[in-house]
A and B are shown apart, each in its own frame.
Chain A
Amino acid sequence: MKRALALSFVLITAAACNRADAPPSRFGFGRAATPAEIQTLDIDVGPDGVGLPAGQGTAVSGAPVYAAKCATCHGSAGEGTPIAAALVGRIPNDSFNYATSTGGDRRKTVGSWWPHATTLYDYIRRAMPFDKSGTLTPDEIYAVTAFLLAKNEIVTDDFVIDAKSLPAVKMPSRDRFVADDREKSNRVR
């Protein structure tokens, strides 16, 4: 009994010391985020389509939007200019020998290098047009996305892009991307 009492005293003392020295599991700083606050900022679109809003567009409805808001930098047909990347272009047979090719015509376009169609919606909503980002409506973003997919001959001009159809679009380079393996060894990879 005495031993048990002594032991419990030691344990209590140890617990008290822990409380004073060890960091707590939580500090209680910050506050709970409300669903409305989360919804305002939660703009990302995943490869599974999670996060895509209501709305739709086709290449036909996207052509005037592209001409008005994208063509100045990216070229009237998405061919690229000195200030912005080419967006349109497929390599014959979707050949992906970028690393071993020494040819100059291996341009990284939506049709040749983008593995997920959903990334178009996500990125245009975030960052385009370059000098007026965040100003396009969901219908405009869907329409420009449809326009770029059609120009790259991935969908037809009348194909309706919306929250359901976009993640189902299979991109030509979809299976070309592999995880980094450099750290599995100390050899040059």
Chain B
Amino acid sequence: MARRDEQKRPASPAGVTDPSAVLEPLLSRRSVVVGAALAVGASVMQGMAAPVPQARPTPPIVPDGPVPDPTTVLGRLPNELGVRSQFEKAKRRPSNTSSQAPLDDLYGAITPSELHFERHHGGVAVVDPATYTLLIHGMVERPMIFTLDDLKRFPSASRICFLECAGNMARGAKEETRAQQVCGLTSQSEWTGVMLSTLFKEVGVRPDASWFLAEGQDAAVMSRSIPLEKAFDDAMIVYAQNGEAIRPEQGYPARLLLPGWEGNTNVKWLRRLELSTRPFMTREETSKYTEAIKGDKARQFSFVIDARSIITSPTYPGRVEKGWIEIRGIAWSGRGKIRRAELSFDEGKSWVAATLQAPVLSKAHTRFRHLYEWDGTEVTVMSRAVDETGYVQPTVRELVDARGPGSGPYHLNPITGWRFRPDGSVTFRTEKWA
């Protein structure tokens, strides 16, 4: 510290002895608050009792001109809430009904909570945690009401898993499409809460119950019927995400978590669970989230997310240079662990296994990477996932053959790819659907 200071720090204004006189001009954007903090500091130095400052400096904004040498500027003081660097621009891509996570801007396995995709049907509900309750009733021995504090008293569990909207595929995307736009309605968090089986044991599920309704308290009063077996498999009621209370967009203060199942069933702002002998045939499980299949039928209660993958780097609008390129992406499956993530450089004729980043968790986004030496000629790189059940991520053609060209828009998980062009540009590998 001293060495660097002697070399780089410019001389203090001559004759100045009051430290606040030096600091004030350097901190002009937050002068009022910092001034108050400094005043408090000064009073402490004088041995007077001082209140804890209630307000702290606001985050700095990007300066208009060049960034000054940071060794010459006193940095921001400790703060109550952290903010990301003002130079980072990763953003969700919102529409009227959802926002896509910036897959191509993310690293590692966890999606930052503020960048987790959104999908809701009646806007983001505002729920007061002090008055929040969860009612469990129907085919139970003891209908009960739990407050948020009650839920937190039960034995807790944490789990890292992905959450993905069932309608997460941009069919017919053009070349100038980001990974975020192709399938950005998937994200991963560490969720913490209570196992649903713990709560169901508390209320006593009657032997003839086989389904339960999960209901939210948003403006859509979202509701889905869930088979009871899932409750005793791995379902949770979660109140925390990535170490803090779950975000309002994710159902604050508590939501249902059904690992590996389509996002809509993970009901947010959860207020009620009703056990029953049959499904309730809500709108979301009849007229929505059902997909046409061959034989003039529609598939219903299609919960599990099939295995899929996407390369997140290099992708449009990024660029590539001749030489070594680390191809990076994520692979995941609602049925369990990813066994392999594979890449093809010859339009799917042959596949090479990428390296999986440990730990490989069940029903979780799994990072893969592969070193590739690019010679500068045009090449298309595609990825596919294979999960522990042996399910192999299909091509568009295989999906269309299995279900019909008019199926969808749900549970579409085709192999995708990116084209490296001699000019260094990278474009999405376009494909016809029908």
Q: Are A33 and B121 in contact, with the CB atoms below 8 A? A: no
Check A5 for interface membership: any CB of B closer than 8 A.
Answer: no
A30 to B288, CA, bound (A): 35
Please give, as numbers and ranges, the residues of chain A lying within 8 Å of B326 by CB-CB distance: none
**25 residue pairs from A and B, CB less than 8 Å apart:** A27-B153, A29-B146, A32-B143, A38-B143, A41-B215, A44-B215, A44-B274, A46-B276, A46-B278, A47-B278, A48-B278, A96-B296, A96-B298, A99-B293, A99-B296, A100-B405, A115-B281, A122-B282, A130-B122, A178-B293, A178-B299, A179-B301, A183-B304, A187-B391, A189-B403
Q: Are B286 and A98 in contact, with the CB atoms below 8 A? A: no
A30 to B201, CA, bound (A): 13
Check A188 for interface membership: any CB of B closer than 8 A.
Answer: yes
Q: Interface stretch among B46-54, B218-226, B351-359?
A: B218-226
Please give, as numbers and ranges, the residues of chain A lying within 8 Å of B145 by CB-CB distance: 30-33, 37
A51 to chain B, nearest CB (A): 9
Please give, as numbers and ranges, the residues of chain A lying within 8 Å of B295 by CB-CB distance: 99
Given A29-B153, A33-B137, A33-B145; A188-B399 close (CB under 8 Å) = yes
Given A126-B221, A182-B306, A188-B399; A176-B298 close (CB under 8 Å) = yes
Q: Are A188 and B394 in contact, with the CB atoms below 8 A? A: yes
Check A151 for interface membership: any CB of B closer than 8 A.
Answer: no
Query: Number of A interface residues, CB 8 Å?
Result: 57
Check B402 for interface membership: any CB of A closer than 8 A.
Answer: yes
Check A43 for interface membership: any CB of B closer than 8 A.
Answer: yes
A116 to B285, CA, bound (A): 11
- Of the candidates B146, B215, B298, B306, which one forms a contact with A98 in the assembled complex, judged by CB atoms under 8 Å apart? B298
A95 to B58, CA, bound (A): 61
Query: Number of B interface residues, CB 8 Å?
Result: 68
Q: Are B406 and A178 in contact, with the CB atoms below 8 A? A: no
Main secondary structure of the interface of A (DSSP, over half): loop
A44 to B406, CA, bound (A): 32
A185 to B124, CA, bound (A): 38
Check A21 for interface membership: any CB of B closer than 8 A.
Answer: no
Interface residues of B in 20-41 (CB under 8 A from A): none
A118 to B272, CA, bound (A): 20
Please give, as numbers and ranges, the residues of chain A lying within 8 Å of B136 by CB-CB distance: 33
A38 to B145, CA, bound (A): 9
A45 to B282, CA, bound (A): 8
A27 to B292, CA, bound (A): 45
Q: Are B405 and A30 in contact, with the CB atoms below 8 A? A: no
- Of the candidates A48, A122, A127, A189, which one forms a contact with B402 in the assembled complex, judged by CB atoms under 8 Å apart? A189
B256 to chain A, nearest CB (A): 16
Please give, as numbers and ranges, the residues of chain B lying within 8 Å of A180 by CB-CB distance: 299-304
B150 to chain A, nearest CB (A): 5
Check A113 for interface membership: any CB of B closer than 8 A.
Answer: yes
Q: 15 other contacts beyond A30-B146, A99-B403, A180-B304, with CB at 8 A cut-off?
A: A25-B201, A26-B202, A30-B150, A31-B144, A42-B137, A44-B213, A83-B96, A99-B407, A100-B406, A102-B434, A113-B290, A113-B298, A119-B286, A178-B297, A186-B390
A182 to B299, CA, bound (A): 10
Task: Encode B175-195 as 1/0 by CB contact (under 8 A) with A.
Answer: 000000000000000000000
A96 to B279, CA, bound (A): 23
Check B369 for interface membership: any CB of A closer than 8 A.
Answer: no
Check B404 for interface membership: any CB of A closer than 8 A.
Answer: yes
Task: Encode B106-146 as 1/0 by CB contact (under 8 A) with A.
Answer: 00000000000000011000000000000111000011111
Check A101 for interface membership: any CB of B closer than 8 A.
Answer: yes
A113 to B402, CA, bound (A): 21
Check A123 for interface membership: any CB of B closer than 8 A.
Answer: yes
A183 to chain B, nearest CB (A): 6
B206 to chain A, nearest CB (A): 15
Check A69 for interface membership: any CB of B closer than 8 A.
Answer: no
Q: Which residue of B lies closest to A124 (CB)?
A: B283
Given A29-B146, A106-B406; A127-B303 close (CB under 8 Å) = no
Interface residues of B in 265-315 (CB under 8 A from A): 271-272, 274, 276, 278-283, 286-287, 290, 292-304, 306
Task: Encode B378-421 as 1/0 by CB contact (under 8 A) with A.
Answer: 00000000000111101000110011111100010000000000
